[in-house]
Amino acid sequence: MVDHPGGGVSACLEGELVGEGNFQGGGGFGKTAADMARAHWNPEDLNPGGFDPHQRIKDMDEMGIDAAVLYPSWCLLANGVRDPELAAAMCRGFNRYLAEFCRPYPKRLFGAAMVPMQSAAFMVDVAADAALSGHKAVAVRPNMVRGRALQQPYYERFWATVEDLGLAVALHPAATNEVQGVFDLIMQPDPQVSHTLPDALALPMDVMITLSWLMVGGVLDRHPSVRIGMLEASGSWVTMLLERLDKRVRYGGGPGGGRLPEIKTMPSEIFARQCFVAFESEEAAMPRLWDVVGKSMIWGSDYPHFDGEPASEAIKNIASLPEEGQRQIMGANAARLYDLPME
């Protein structure tokens, strides 16, 4: 760790600073964006629930959350590291730390491991280690890494491995530019633009693009038992995307023929079979889409980020749904995604 020019501390990898001086992913919950801009990234400035499992449980109790699957924040940037061996070591280190973090509360805290997309061989090894450690999912960036995308044959062994291991795969985006994605397209016209547009646009668009390729490229048909989660990208876009994909597959002579021979099943059917999307508490579409994609909807708190929300806000939003719909969105669907017991 080194001092950041803007204040606070940052990590230095391969001669470059990784993460911003005001990076808030580690524990900004309960603070405003303005607070975080001033605080920089010092643990003493942040919510201790981002670093202490016992405080995490206290916060969960206060928020009305029974169990949580914990994802990387800063470690999402590991896929931008140039050295695959270094990236793999970073992921293994984070995954060990996460397993230790969850260990005191084995029925309430569960981990989503990070895997190094720079190398499919390392991805397979790290995913296998993660499963042995008890993690329930692996997180991947919905981006191209070293010029390769997740639907390409290079990653086929990874998909076969997670299917065999029974691990969920979570597409978790980040509004950063160390990997190739929509971020660069948004920033090109005006490099001085704040993170407002990348946060608003890059996160859902990277997920939509990657999910579409996994479907159309045949990955999800070849691995129909792989459970796919889409995190921190909202969920209101999902019916629009599925309707458009279904139409284009039909127009292309598919599924299973014409211009799209790799996809054997209609995208909407693939989604219903194995995909899950996380909605945020205030999304107006959440109660309205339940009758269309209700069995694929989960709720994400985004804790411990500063914009994390308690469960009560989501419950209030979906209060008009029948009890079964509320149960699915607030827990039962996530239990299926992560293969968790429902007690």
The Cα–Cα gap between 76 and 134 comes to 20
In angstroms, rounded to a whole number, what is the distance separating the alpha carbons of residues 260 and 322?
Answer: 39
Q: What is the pLDDT of residue 308?
A: 80
Q: Which two tokens stand for residue 164?
A: 């065999």
Residue 212 CA to residue 1 CA, distance in Å, equals 38
Q: What domains does the chain contain, in order, with CATH numbers?
A: 1-46 (no CATH), 48-338 (3.20.20.140)
How many residues does this entry show for the chain? 343
This prediction has a pTM of 0.93
- pLDDT on residue 187: 82
Q: What is the pLDDT of residue 8?
A: 59
C-alpha angle 149-152-158 in degrees, rounded to nearest 5: 90
Cis peptide before 255 (omega within 30 of 0): yes
Structure tokens that stand for 191 in this block: 């490099």
Q: Is the dihedral of CA 311, 314, 320, 325 positive or negative?
A: negative
In this prediction, residue 188 carries a pLDDT of 77
Q: How far is CA 163 from CA 92, 112, 223, 224, 273, in A?
A: 20, 15, 7, 8, 14
DSSP states of 263-328 = --S-HHHHHHHHEEEEEPTT-THHHHTHHHHGGGEEE---TTSTT---HHHHHHHTTTS-HHHHHI
114 three-class SS: strand
Instruction: Return the bridge partners of 170, or none.
Output: 139, 229
Residue 298 near residue 279, CB atoms below 8 Å: yes
Q: In this structure, what DSSP letter does residue 223 have?
A: S
Chain CA centroid to CA 70, Å: 10
Sign of the torsion angle spanned by Cα atoms 295, 142, 11, 306: negative
Q: Determine the Cα–Cα distance for residues 18 and 21; give it in Å rounded to an integer.
A: 9
Write out the DSSP string of 154-218: GGHHHHHHHHHHT-EEEE---S-SSSBSHHHHHHTT-TT--THHIIIIIHHHHHHHHHHHHHHTT
Query: pLDDT tens digits for the chain (343 residues)?
Result: 666 665 556 667 777 766 554 445 566 666 666 666 555 556 666 788 888 999 999 999 998 899 999 999 888 889 999 999 999 999 999 999 999 999 999 999 999 999 999 999 999 999 999 999 999 999 999 999 999 999 999 999 999 999 999 999 999 999 888 899 998 888 877 766 666 788 889 999 999 999 999 999 999 999 999 999 999 999 999 999 999 999 999 999 999 889 999 999 999 999 999 999 999 999 999 999 999 999 999 999 988 887 788 899 999 999 999 999 999 999 999 999 999 987 6
